[in-house]
Structure 1
C-alpha cells in the first residue's frame, strides 16, 4: 500500500472505525476525558492530573515524558502515546506487563514473555522485558514516575527491567515516547522511553480483582489488589499490595502444539503437509520430528546407536526400503525380530539411510510449558510531607518491592554412552566402535575409551525455577528558589536478589555410575563416591526411558545459582525561567546525576566446573561500573499568536563520563510550529548512546554446545567450495569427515577487548491536524522516524566466526580465526570462542499514524480511533562485509501493524470493541538463497485479534466483563527448518498462543 493510500485509509479508520482511546499523541480535551471516564471526573486519584492525564506541579504546571521542562501545555517536538489504566482493564489486560507488551506499545515487534521459558534471554527465564521499535531491551528505557527502574532477574545477563516488578494496581497511566532521549535521561534511551506513572492523592481504600480464563481451562490469570491512601493538610501517603498468579498453559492444552510437523509441501503449490515425512506407524505426518533442524523440537528416543552393519544382515523397520543394501547404525527394539546379526532390534537409519523413521515423539513433550507459570507479589508506597521551610519544601519518598516465583517445565533427552568392554552391554555389543572415543565431559565412564554403543533415551520433563526479589527505595526534597526557580535533590538504592535452580544430570555422577564391576547378580560402581548407584544395563526399558528411580535420584540433583544486582542513583536538578520573551518565558533545566551499578552472578559449583550434562556451564559474572553526568535543557517560545499561532524550540544536552569506557556527549534539538490552532508541524534531531551493560562487559565464561552438524567442515567432499575445502584440509580434516562431537561454544564478556558505547542518531518529523467540526472532535497525526545505531554491541555467532575463518583465503592469518580451536586428530573437536564486540550497524525507518474522533451520538458518547505503524526499512549489518538485508516484511517483521477500537458510553456504561492487526509476512524469496525452496511454507497471512468488553463505572463500584481473541484465532503455521516455532506456529509475541479467553474485573471503593 502506498503512503498516500495509507494516510487516507488510516483517516477513514479514525472516522468510521476505532481509536485506541489511550492514544494521546494530540492533546486530550476535558470533554474527552469526561466521556472516557463514564462518570464524574472528580475522582480522588485524579486531583493532581491535568485534563490530558499529565502530572501537575503545585502551581499547575506539568512535566511530560521526554523533557524535564515544566510547562502548562502537552505539546512536544516528539509524539507521546498515553495509555490509562482504565483502558488496560477495558482491553482485558490483567497486568501492566501484558499492556506494555501489546501491539499498541510495541508496534508489533517481538517481545520476551512467558512463552520463552526454554530460551536463553536477558534477565533469565520468567523475566518479561520491553523492546521498543524492535531495537532490543537494552535500547529501551523504562521509568517509574520519571525515574529509572533498575534491572532485575536471574543469571549473568541481568541488564533490563523485568516488567513483573511494576505495581499494576497503582498504575495511573503509561506514557510512551518513541524517540531517542539520551540527552534527557542518559544511556539506553535509543529507541524510546516508557514512563509508568502511579496514582496519587488517594483517600480511602480500594479493593480490586481480575481473572482471565482461557476457553481451554488452563493458563488462568488471577490478580487481587488493595490500594489505600490518605491526604492531610501537609502530607499524603499512598500505597498498594497485590498478588498475581498465572497458571501453566501446556503444549497438551492447545491443538496447534499437540502434533508439531514439518508442515511442508510436496511441490510448489502443493497442500501443506503433503511434503512431510510420513510416519510408517501412523500413515500421517510425523509428530515432533528432529531431522529438519531449527523449528522441529522432537527428541531421539528408544534408539540404539551402534557401529555400521549391512542392511542385508539386520531386520529393517517399516519405512526402510526393502532389500536395503546400505549400512545401518541406528536401531530400535523389536522383540519380534529373532533372525539376523542383531536379534531383538530393527534398523531405523544410518549411513545413506534417513534417520527420520526413528522414534522422536515422547508423550512428555506435551507436558512442556507453552506459557510458563508465575506467581508475583507486588507492593508500592509513596508519601510526601510539606516542611513549610526551605522554599516551601516538600520531602518525598517512594518504595517499590516485588517477588517473582516462576518456573518452566521442559523436556530433555538422555544419551548414555557405553564404553568398549562395558559389562552393562550384552556380550555381543561390547567390542564395536560406534564413536572413536568420548571426550571429557560426555556421559562415558572412561574418557578417551572408544564408545561401543549409545542409547538415545527420553529423560522426561525437568524444571527450572526462580525466585527474584526486587526492592527500590528512593526519596528526596524539592522546593522553591528565588526567581521562580525550583530545586530537586534525589537519591535511590535498588536491590535485586535472585536464586535460580535447574533439575540437572551431573556428569561426574553419570560417569561413575557407568563405570561398573560385577557384584553378585548385578553391578556396583567401580570407584564409588558417596552413595553411588550403578547404571542399569542396556535393555528395552532403558531405551524406552524407564529407569530405576534410585539411579535417577543419584545422577540428578537441583543445581542452584544466585544473582545480585545493585543500582544507586544520586540526582540534583534546578529549573526555572531565564528571562521572558514576548511569546513567554524561556525555561531552563540544569542538573547532575551519578549512577553506580554492580552485578554478582554466582552459578552453582557444578555449573562452574562444567559438571552439568548436556547443559551450558558458566562461571562467575562479577563487575561494577559508575557514571557521572551533567545535563541541561532549554525551551524557547519564539512566537505565540503573532502572525502564526505558535513556534517553540527546545534543546537539550548531556555530558557523560563512565568509569568503564570514558566520556560521551549527546544532544537533541527540536521544535513545534503551529501556523494555526488546528495544524502543527513538529520535529527533532538528536544523538543517543548506550553504555555497555555489566553482563556485556563482565559475563563469566559460559560453555555451551552446538550440534555436530554445525561444524563447517562436516560432510567435507570434493564438491565443497575450494577455499573451504583447502582450509579444512589444512587443519588435517579428511574428505568424507562426519562430525560426531558437538561444537563447543564458549562465550565471554567484552571488557577485556575494550568494549565501548553504542552511538546513534535519531530524527523525526510529523504533523498534527486538529480541525474544528460542529458535530465532533477529530485529530490526525503522522510522524516519520529514522534511527541509526553505529558501533553496535553484538555477539558474533558460531556460524559467523566459522564462515569468516574457513571461507577466507587468508585462513589462519585472518584475525577471526583466533576465536577457533580444533584438535589435530580424530574426531577433530571444534571449539568456538565468542564475546561482545562493537561491530554492528542498525537502521530503522518508519511512520506512525494516529487518528481519533469523538462525538455525542444519541444518548451517549462515541469515540473512534486508530494507531498504525508502517516500517519502511529495518536491517542490522553485523560486519561491514555482510550484505544489507532489509527485514521489513519478513517473518517476525511485519511492514504494518495497527490497533483500533470503538467505545460508546451512556452514563455509567461503556462498551468497547477492539482490533489488533499484524500484516502478512513472507520470507520465501529471502530464504531461497539459503536452500529453502517453494516446498517450505515461510509466509503468514494478515492476523486479526478481536476483543469485546462491557463496563459499568460508578463512584464507588466498577465492573467489566469481556473476551479477548473473541473468534478464537490460532496463530499461523510455518514450516520447520528456518525459524523457532511453538508447535507449528512462529515463536512471535504478536500472535496469541492462549486462544479465546474471558475476563472479569471488579473494583470497589471505601
Structure 2
C-alpha cells in the first residue's frame, strides 16, 4: 500500500525501528528496497523538469482544511487506494484496517464477536491501541453517528461503512483535534467514496474456508451517469449485499480445552450439565465441595473432569470452548448514493444518502443457573451422592439451547450541501443528519426469571440429565421469544469551511481556512419490559436512557510557506460542550524540504476527548466478568480444599454502566519524521510519534483482580465469615463501572517503503511496506501508581505487540496481476504464567495471502485468491480476558486457509 505524496513525490507513511529478531523482515524489506532503487536510479531521466507539464488542481488533503496542490503536508497520511483494497482481498472496512500497521484492529469481522450485551454487533477502529473512542472515523470528511447500543466502546461502527463504494482511505496517523474535532487523539480515518462515477459495474464474490464455516457471498452493483463538466450534473449509486456464515468452535480441531495444565489455563466453568451441586448449611448457604452425579465420567463432549481447581472434589467442569461460536453469521445490505448539480461554473449543490443494515446472529453457550436450590423432594434428586436436603445447583441450561441473539444495526445518513468559490473563498457547507439504530433481540436460550424459578422449584425440570416430555414442556414454557432491547443514536450537524490565499510569502501564497460547526448528539436506550424488570435470566435489569448534548466549535488554520523549503501549518480550535465544559486545542506543524528528494516534518498538538453520552449516562447493569479469575488473596490457600471453587476459577457478578461524574480525557501528541526519495522509483518514510493521555476513562475489570488490596473498594466480598482462617471471604461481585482510572504514555516509529520498478518485457514489480514499532506503552492504574509497561505483552484487554507490519509484492504482466501479502505480528508475553509458574512467550504470528487477477476483456475482470496460504492456526494462549479461551481472538484469524473468487463486469 502506498501513500500518494504529490506531483513530484510518492509516499508511504508507516513504521519501523530496530530490535534484532523482531526486525529481520524489516531489514530484508528495506535492504531490498534500497538495492532495487539504486539499480534502477540510472534509468531515470536526468532532468525530470523537461517532461511534459501536467494539469494540477487544488485538492483538500486529510489533515488540513486548506486546498493546495497535491503534495506532502506536515502530517503523516497513509493513503490506501481502490487498487490496494482489491489486491488485499479485503471486503469490509474492518478487514481493510488490518492492513494498517498503526491500527490495533482485529483481523476479521468475526473478532467483533462478544458476549457483552452492549457490544454485540459493534466493530470499531483503534489507532495506536489507545481506544476506539480516540479514533475519529469519517465518511467523505464528515461524521457518522456512533454505534447506538450503550457499551464500553463509543465510536463509529465499521459495519456501517459501504466498503464496495470506497475509492480510497486516508489514514491520518497523527492527532488532528484542532481541525476535525477534539476526539481525534489517535488519528483520523477518512473513507472516501466515488464522487463523479459514470457507467456501471456488477460483481459477484464467493469466499469459503478449507475446514468449513465462515463462508461469505457478496453481490455488488454500481451505476452512475452525468458529466459535471458537460451535463452539469452527476448521479451515482452503489448497492452491496453480503451474506456471511457462522463458524462453530467444533469446526476447528486446533481449538483446545479450557483446561491445559502445561499452558497454565484452567478456566473451565463450574456451571455444567449435568449440574454440579453443593450442600446447604444451617443458614441456607452453600458449603463444601461441589459434587456431580455423573463424575468422574462427565457428560461429553461439553464437560471435562479437571484435577486443576477442583482437586479432591467429585465435580465436573464445562468446556465452553467446545460448545460456542467463534464467528457469527451476518447479512449486510448497504447503499450509498450521491447527486451533484453545478448551478454555475463556480457553485455546486450536492446530496448524499447512506443506508446500511447489518443483521448478525450471535449464539454462545447455554445459560448458567447459580442461585437456585433443587428441592429434596424433586423427582430427579441425585440420591447416588449420599446427601440429603435441598442442593444449590451450578447448572448449564443446555436443554434450553445456546443463548442466541439477533442484532439488527441500521445506519442512515443524509447530507445536503453546497461548495464552490465565492468572493475568492473556497467554501464547503452542509447539513448532516446521521442515525444509528440497534435492536438486540433475545431469540433462544433465555428464560423468564420468576417463571423459571417457580418451575424449577417444582423439581420437575431435571438438572442432572434429560427431562421427560412434561419437564421439557415446563422448561419451554418459561423461554423468552421476541423480546428485544432497542437503542438509537442521532447526530445532527451543520458545518461550514472557508479557505483562500491571503498574501504572498517567499515560498508561495499563505493561505487561511476558517471553519465552524454545530452538532447535537442524542442517545436513547429502551429496554423491554422484561429486561427493565430484571426478568431475563443472564441479563441484569436495565433502566431506560435518554440523553443529549450540544457542541459548538470554531477553528482557524494557517499555511505559511516561509520559503520554498520551509512551510508551517498552524491551527487552533475551540469547542464548547454544554455538559462537560469547554476546550481549546492548538496544532503546530512544520515541513522542511531542502531538496526535492528529502522532506522533514514535525507536529505538536493537544486533544480533549469528552465522555460520550453512553460513558456518562449508560444505566448500571449487573452481569458477569468477561474473564475467569483466581482471587490472589485466597486461591493459593484454598486450592486442594473443599473451598477451592469459592476462590479459584471465578466469574463473579460485575457492575457495569456509565458515570455522570466522569471528566474529559486530555492528551498531548507529538510526531517527527522524514520522507526520502533516493530515486524516482522508490519512496520511504520514517515517523516518530508520541501520545500521552490523562484522565483515561476505563472499566478496569482485570486490574481489580491484579491488586485486590489496593482496589478493595471496588471488590464486594461475602459478608459471612471466611471459611478459611487468615484469608478474606469469597468475592461476590466487582464494580467495573466507568471511571477516570488511568493515564497512558505510548510512543513508537512508523516506517513506509514504496518501490515501483520500471516496466520491462517481463512485466512490472512493485513493493509496498508499512510497519509500526512501539517503543513504549505504559499505563498508570490510579492516581499515584507507578506506570506499568505493557508493550510486548498482553495487558488489561489487549496485546500491544512491539512490531506489526504488512508487506506486499505486486507483479503485473499485461492483463495478469499477482499479489503476495504478508501480515506480521511479533512475539509477546502471555497474560498469565504457564503451568510451571514461568513467564510464557507466544511466538510471532504471520499470515500470507496470495491473490491474482486477469482482465479477460475491457469489460470483464476475474479475481481469485488464497487467504492464510500456509494455513496458520492462532497460537495457544492462556489469556482469560476474552471468553473465547485457549487463543487470543483480538488479533488472530481463526478461519484457517480460505479461498475466494470474484467476477466483475463493467460498462462505460
Alignment TM class, shorter chain as reference: 0.7 to 0.9
Query: What is the CA distance between 1:837 and its match in structure 2?
Result: 2.5
Distance 2:415 2:147 in 1: 16
2:445 is the alignment partner of 1:541: no
Query: What is the CA distance between 1:159 and its match in structure 2?
Result: 2.8
Match of 1:120 in 2: 116
Equivalent positions of 1:628-777 (< 5 A) are 628-640=552-564, 646-705=565-624, 743-751=652-660, 753=661, 755-772=662-679, 777=681
Q: Is the 8 A contact 2:272 2:395 kept in 1?
A: no
Q: Is the 8 A contact 1:478 1:486 kept in 2?
A: yes
Match of 1:254 in 2: 252
Query: What is the CA distance between 1:944 and its match in structure 2?
Result: 1.9
Match of 1:66 in 2: 63
Gaps of 5+ in 2: 1-15, 36-43, 46-52, 282-286, 298-304, 723-728
For 2:199, which of 201, 204, 212 is the aligned residue? Answer: 204
Equivalent positions of 1:325-340 (< 5 A) are 329-333=290-294
Query: What is the CA distance between 1:585 and its match in structure 2?
Result: 0.9
Residue 985 of structure 1 aligns to a residue in which SS? Answer: coil
Match of 2:324 in 1: 368
Inter-CA distance 613–799: structure 2 relative to 1 (3 Å threshold): farther
2:791 is the alignment partner of 1:888: yes
Query: What is the CA distance between 1:401 and its match in structure 2?
Result: 0.5
Distance 2:220 2:616 in 1: 40
Query: What is the CA distance between 1:819 and its match in structure 2?
Result: 7.9
For 2:518, which of 594, 603, 623 is the aligned residue? Answer: 594
Inter-CA distance 352–201: structure 2 relative to 1 (3 Å threshold): closer
Distance 2:309 2:566 in 1: 76
Residue 116 of structure 2 aligns to a residue in which SS? Answer: coil
Match of 1:992 in 2: 893
Match of 1:129 in 2: 124
2:18 is the alignment partner of 1:3: yes
2:373 is the alignment partner of 1:418: yes
Distance 1:348 1:941 in 2: 27
Q: Is the 8 A contact 2:804 2:824 kept in 1?
A: yes
Distance 1:264 1:351 in 2: 11
Match of 2:38 in 1: none
For 1:858, which of 746, 749, 760 is the aligned residue? Answer: 760
Distance 1:758 1:562 in 2: 29
Q: Is the 8 A contact 1:17 1:902 kept in 2?
A: no
Distance 2:682 2:254 in 1: 42
Inter-CA distance 551–631: structure 2 relative to 1 (3 Å threshold): same
Distance 2:32 2:311 in 1: 61
Query: What is the CA distance between 1:352 and its match in structure 2?
Result: 7.9
What are the Cα deviations for residues 205-226 of structure 1, in whole angstroms up to 9, with x where unaligned?
Answer: 1112222211123211111111
Query: What is the CA distance between 1:130 and its match in structure 2?
Result: 0.9
What are the Cα deviations for residues 303-341 of structure 1, in whole angstroms up to 9, with x where unaligned?
Answer: 4414399xxxxxxxxxxxxxxxx98641324899xxxxx
Q: Is the 8 A contact 1:11 1:851 kept in 2?
A: no
Distance 1:818 1:988 in 2: 27
Match of 1:555 in 2: 478
Residue 563 of structure 2 aligns to a residue in which SS? Answer: strand
Distance 1:455 1:488 in 2: 61
Equivalent positions of 1:42-121 (< 5 A) are 60-100=57-97, 102-107=98-103, 110=106, 113-120=109-116
Distance 1:335 1:659 in 2: 62
Q: Is the 8 A contact 1:896 1:918 kept in 2?
A: yes
Equivalent positions of 1:180-199 (< 5 A) are 180-199=175-194
Match of 2:4 in 1: none
Q: Is the 8 A contact 1:17 1:865 kept in 2?
A: no
Residue 617 of structure 1 aligns to a residue in which SS? Answer: coil
Query: What is the CA distance between 1:908 and its match in structure 2?
Result: 2.5
Distance 2:506 2:635 in 1: 78
What are the Cα deviations for residues 977-1001 of structure 1, in whole angstroms up to 9, with x where unaligned?
Answer: 6554746322222x22111111112
Match of 1:785 in 2: 689
Distance 1:137 1:575 in 2: 31
Query: What is the CA distance between 1:893 and its match in structure 2?
Result: 1.9
Match of 1:461 in 2: 402
For 1:163, which of 149, 158, 162 is the aligned residue? Answer: 158
Length, aligned pairs only? 842
2:701 is the alignment partner of 1:797: yes
Q: Is the 8 A contact 1:111 1:131 kept in 2?
A: no
Distance 2:245 2:326 in 1: 11
What are the Cα deviations for residues 553-591 of structure 1, in whole angstroms up to 9, with x where unaligned?
Answer: 212113311111111011122111111123211110111
Residue 856 of structure 1 aligns to a residue in which SS? Answer: coil
Equivalent positions of 1:784-933 (< 5 A) are 784-797=688-701, 800=704, 806=709, 817=713, 823=719, 830=732, 832-859=734-761, 860-891=763-794, 892-923=799-830, 927=832
Residue 185 of structure 1 aligns to a residue in which SS? Answer: coil
2:538 is the alignment partner of 1:614: yes
Query: What is the CA distance between 1:682 and its match in structure 2?
Result: 0.6
Inter-CA distance 469–411: structure 2 relative to 1 (3 Å threshold): same
Distance 1:716 1:868 in 2: 43
Match of 1:511 in 2: 453
Equivalent positions of 1:947-962 (< 5 A) are 947-953=849-855, 955-962=858-865
Residue 266 of structure 2 aligns to a residue in which SS? Answer: coil
Query: What is the CA distance between 1:708 and its match in structure 2?
Result: 10
Query: What is the CA distance between 1:763 and its match in structure 2?
Result: 0.4
Query: What is the CA distance between 1:239 and its match in structure 2?
Result: 1.0
TM-score, L = length of structure 1: 0.77
Q: Is the 8 A contact 1:128 1:162 kept in 2?
A: yes
2:470 is the alignment partner of 1:498: no
Match of 1:22 in 2: none
Distance 1:538 1:866 in 2: 57
Residue 76 of structure 1 aligns to a residue in which SS? Answer: coil
Distance 1:581 1:769 in 2: 26
Q: Is the 8 A contact 1:308 1:351 kept in 2?
A: no
Distance 1:621 1:603 in 2: 9
Distance 2:93 2:309 in 1: 54
Q: Is the 8 A contact 2:452 2:475 kept in 1?
A: no
Query: What is the CA distance between 1:104 and its match in structure 2?
Result: 2.5
Query: What is the CA distance between 1:611 and its match in structure 2?
Result: 1.9
Equivalent positions of 1:400-479 (< 5 A) are 400-415=354-369, 417-418=372-373, 421-424=376-379, 426=381, 451=391, 458-459=398-399, 460-479=401-420
Over 6 Å off, 4+ runs: 4-9, 347-352, 427-434, 707-713, 715-719, 739-742, 824-829
Distance 1:308 1:234 in 2: 82
Query: What is the CA distance between 1:822 and its match in structure 2?
Result: 6.0
**Worse overlay, 782-791 or 195-204:** 195-204
Distance 1:861 1:802 in 2: 55
Q: Is the 8 A contact 2:220 2:240 kept in 1?
A: yes
Distance 1:708 1:916 in 2: 31
Q: Is the 8 A contact 1:328 1:350 kept in 2?
A: no
Gaps of 5+ in 1: 20-28, 31-49, 266-272, 277-290, 310-325, 337-346, 435-449, 517-533, 641-645, 720-734, 809-815
Q: Is the 8 A contact 1:714 1:737 kept in 2?
A: no
Query: What is the CA distance between 1:366 and its match in structure 2?
Result: 4.1
Query: What is the CA distance between 1:910 and its match in structure 2?
Result: 1.5
Match of 1:442 in 2: none
Inter-CA distance 297–395: structure 2 relative to 1 (3 Å threshold): farther
Match of 2:869 in 1: 966
Q: Is the 8 A contact 1:798 1:832 kept in 2?
A: no
Distance 1:2 1:949 in 2: 29
Query: What is the CA distance between 1:499 and its match in structure 2?
Result: 1.2
**Worse overlay, 5-14 or 950-959:** 5-14
TM-score, L = length of structure 2: 0.84
Distance 2:822 2:306 in 1: 49
Match of 2:8 in 1: none
